Structure 1
Amino acid sequence: MLSAPSQLLMRNADTFVQGKWLLVNPTDSQIAQQLNNPDLKVFHQYFDIYQQSCAAGKSAQHIFAAAYPTDQKFDGAVIYMPKSKDQAKMLIANVAACLNENASLLLVGENKGGVKSAAKMLETIGSQVNKVDSARHCALFGAQVDKPIKPFDLTKWQSEVDISVGGLNYKICSLPGVFNHGSLDLGTKVLLDNLPEIKKGRLLDFGCGAGVIGCYLGLLSPESEVVMTDVSALAVHCSKESAKLNKLNAKVVASNGLMDVQGKFSAVYTNPPFHTGIQTDYSVTENFISQLKQYLTQGGSLTLVANKFLRYSELLEQRFSAVSPMAQTTKFTLYQCARIK
C-alpha cells in the first residue's frame, strides 16, 4: 500500500505524466511504477527503499547516493519532506541545481512531519510558492524555479566535529540528516565512556551514523578490522569521511539491517535506531538482535546502548546466555551480551 504522501501524489498524477521528473526519497517502493513516466528518475538516500524499488523493476531508474549528480537536468522534481529541516534545505539546494530553467520543485509530506515549513524553504528558489493539494493529513507545496541557483557542493554542507569521549579526542564528519548531526549523542557517550576492553579481530559498528563508535574502535584497536554499516547514504558518506579524518582503513557498508553485511565478527557495538522517518519503529533493532547469531564468531559479544524505555533486555536474554547491564543513567542502559545461544 502506498504511503499517505504517495497517495497524495497519485491524486495529482497528471502533473508527472510528461517531461523528465526526479523523485527524491519516496517513502515506499511502488510510487515510481504507479506514476508510470518512462523519463522518471528516483533519488534515494535510504538503502532499504532503494533495494525494494530496484526489486520492483527498472533498477536503472533508481540511484542511491548522498547527493544527486547535477550534470543531469530535469523539468521538475518532488522531494519527500525529511524529518530534519536542515536536510530538507540541503536537498532543495541539491535538487534545484539539477533543474532546468523555470522547472517545478515540489515538497510533499505529512503535516506532523513538518511539511508546513516547506513553503518558506521553497522561497529560496522561487518567488511564488503554492499549496498544490492536501489530503490524508499531508500537503503538497510547489514553486517554479525563477531565482538564481548556486552550484551544489556537498562538502560545503559538511562539518567537522571535535569529539572528546572515553579518553580520546578525534574528529568526525557530519551532514544534515545524519543521526545527532553536529554533536555527540548522549547514548553513544554512555557506551564509549563505559566500554570494556575492546576485542581484537573484526569489529562491527551497526547503525554507524557519522562513525563515532567505529572510529573510536579503530583508534583504540588499530590492528582490528573495523566495519561500519548504516541504511543512510548520508551516514555512509560521513563515516567514510570520518575514517579518512582519523587515517583509519575502515570498511563502510550500506545495508538494510544486516542484509548486506558479510562475514563474522568478534564483537559488535551499537546505539541502534528506533525511528523510521517520524515514526517510532523497533523492528530494525529487533531483527538485528534476532539475526546476530550468524554474524558472531564463537565467543563473540554484543555491546548495546538503548533508551531505558526500550525494553530490550528480554529480547537480548532470549539470544544470549549472559546479559549484563554495564552502566545506567536516568535515560540510558548499556548492555554487555556474551555466549550467544
Structure 2
Amino acid sequence: MAYWQTTGLQLECYPSVPEHVARPWDAADDYLAEQLDLDAPTLLINDRYGSLACAFHNHISWTDSACAAEARRQNLERNARPAGSVVHQLTAPLPEGIIQVVIKIPKNFEQLKDWLGQCHALLPDTTRYYLAGMAKHIPVNWLQTLEANSSHYQQFRIVRKARLISLKQPAFDAQPELGYRYQQLQLQSLPGVFSRKKLDIGSQVLLPHLSQIRSGLVCDLGCGNGLLGLSIKQQAPQTRVILTDDSYAAVLSARNNASSNQLEVDVRHGDALAAINERPDWIVCNPPYHDGHKELTNTAVTMFRQSAQQLASGGKMMIVANRHLPYSAPLKRLFRSVNVLHQDSRFIIYLCAKPN
C-alpha cells in the first residue's frame, strides 16, 4: 500500500503491481489536488485507480473501465470515504450543480474530444474543465487544437513534469463510430475501443486458428469490437458465444456489431471474467499489455489466472501475444499443457489446456 502525501490517502493499484513499477497516482494527480477546490461539485473522468475519487469530496465518477471502477471502490473503502456514484455512460440528466469537470488525459485524442463533446452537450456553458497529464504524453498539436476550439484556454506552468490545462466551452462534437470490414463482417467501434479503425495485426494472425473451434461454450475475453467472438459464431453457428470486455465502449460496440451482422451472442461488461458465471469450453484472448502509457502484464496475467480457474474440465484457452512479452512462465504454472500453435518475428499463439 502506498501513501499519497499530498492528500494523506493510502492507495493501491488494482490489479496489483509493485510500487516501483506503478503507483495509484502521479504528478498530474498531485497538481489537480493542489490547485483545485476539492469540495466543489465535480465530474471525474478517467480516474484509473480512484485516487481522485478519494481526494474530491463531492463528485461523480465517469469511467469506461470495470477494472477502474473496482480500483475506485477498493480505495474509497480503504480510506473510509463515501462510495459516491459511478457511471459507465454519460446520459442526461446529470446531477445538478456540477461546476467543474476533471479529466486525466488519455492516450487517444479522439477519446478526449469525445468526452469533451459529450460533457459540453450536457453541462452548462459556465462549467470549467481541467485536463491534466504528464507533459511528455501531451503533443503540442493537441494543445493547439484544444486552444483553437475553446472559448477560454489556460496552460498552467509545468510542475514536476505534469501539465494542467483549464478550458471553457470546448466546441467538440461527440466522435462518430469508425470501422472496417473483415470477410463477411462489418465492424464499427466507438472512440477508445482497441483497433477502432483497422484490423489489429495480432488478431489477424490468430483468426485462421479459430477454425478449430466447432462447438461448445466459447468466451471471447477482452472482446473489443467483437471481431474474434463474432467470427467464431459466424463460422460455427452451433457454438454458444459470450463476449466480455473491461471497456463499456467496447461492449456497446460489440453489441451493435452483433446486431448489425445478425449474429446471436451474449455481450457482457466486466473486469476480466467477473461477468462470467458459466464454465467455457474455449476462451480466446488477445490480451492488453498497456495500462495507460505503461507497458504492464498484470492485467493479462489476471486474465490467464481466472481463465485457468473458470474453464470447464478439459477446456482450452487460445492466446495471441507480442512475442517479447513474458507470458510463457505464468501460463505453464497455470495450465496442464502449453503449446505454441504459431510464432513469427512479432507474435506467438499459445494453446493452453486445463486438466480433465
Aligned equivalents of 1:239 and 1:170: distance in 2?
A: 12
Aligned equivalents of 1:177 and 1:289: distance in 2?
A: 24
1:137 is the counterpart of 2:169: no
Hey, which of these two has a bigger chunk of strand by percent? 1
Which of the residues 142, 158, 183 maps onto 2:177?
A: 158
Identity %: 25
Helix, strand or coil: the match of 2:256?
helix
Which residue number in structure 2 is paired with residue 88 of structure 1? 112
**Alignment of structure 1 residues 1-341 onto 2, 5 Å:** 1=11, 2-4=24-26, 5-14=28-37, 16-18=38-40, 20-37=41-58, 40-55=59-74, 56=76, 58-65=82-89, 68-72=90-94, 74-114=98-138, 117-123=141-147, 125-145=149-169, 149=171, 157-164=176-183, 169-340=184-355
Letter in 2 for 1:290: R
Q: Which moved more, 1:201-210 or 1:49-58?
A: 49-58
User: Deviations for 1:207-260, whole angstroms, at most 9, x for unmatched residues?
Assistant: 111111011111112222211111111111111111112112211122222233
Q: Which moved more, 1:23-32 or 1:271-280?
A: 23-32
Letter in 1 for 2:208: D
Distance 1:324 1:208, change over 3 A: same
Give the gaps of 5 or more residues in structure 2. Answer: 1-10, 12-23
Helix, strand or coil: the match of 2:257?
helix
Distance 1:317 1:44, change over 3 A: same
Helix, strand or coil: the match of 2:341?
strand
Helix, strand or coil: the match of 2:156?
strand
After TM superposition, the runs of 4+ consecutive aligned structure 1 residues lying more than 3 A away are: 57-60, 115-118
User: Deviations for 1:6-48, whole angstroms, at most 9, x for unmatched residues?
Assistant: 211111133x433x321111122132232223xx221111111
Distance 1:229 1:124, change over 3 A: farther
Aligned equivalents of 1:179 and 1:160: distance in 2?
A: 11
Shift of 1:285: 1.2
How large is the RMSD of aligned CA atoms in angstroms?
A: 2.2
Which residue number in structure 1 is paired with residue 17 of structure 2? none
Aligned equivalents of 1:197 and 1:300: distance in 2?
A: 13
Residue pair 2:218, 2:280 contacting (<8 A) in 1 also: yes
Distance 1:124 1:305, change over 3 A: same
Helix, strand or coil: the match of 1:130?
strand
Helix, strand or coil: the match of 1:229?
strand
User: Deviations for 1:169-226, whole angstroms, at most 9, x for unmatched residues?
Assistant: 2111212211111111111011112334114121011111111101111111222221
Helix, strand or coil: the match of 1:288?
helix
User: Deviations for 1:123-174, whole angstroms, at most 9, x for unmatched residues?
Assistant: 35423311135323211101222x7x57x65xx611242113xxxx211121
* TM-score for both structures, normalised by structure 1: 0.88
* TM-score for both structures, normalised by structure 2: 0.84
Helix, strand or coil: the match of 2:252?
helix
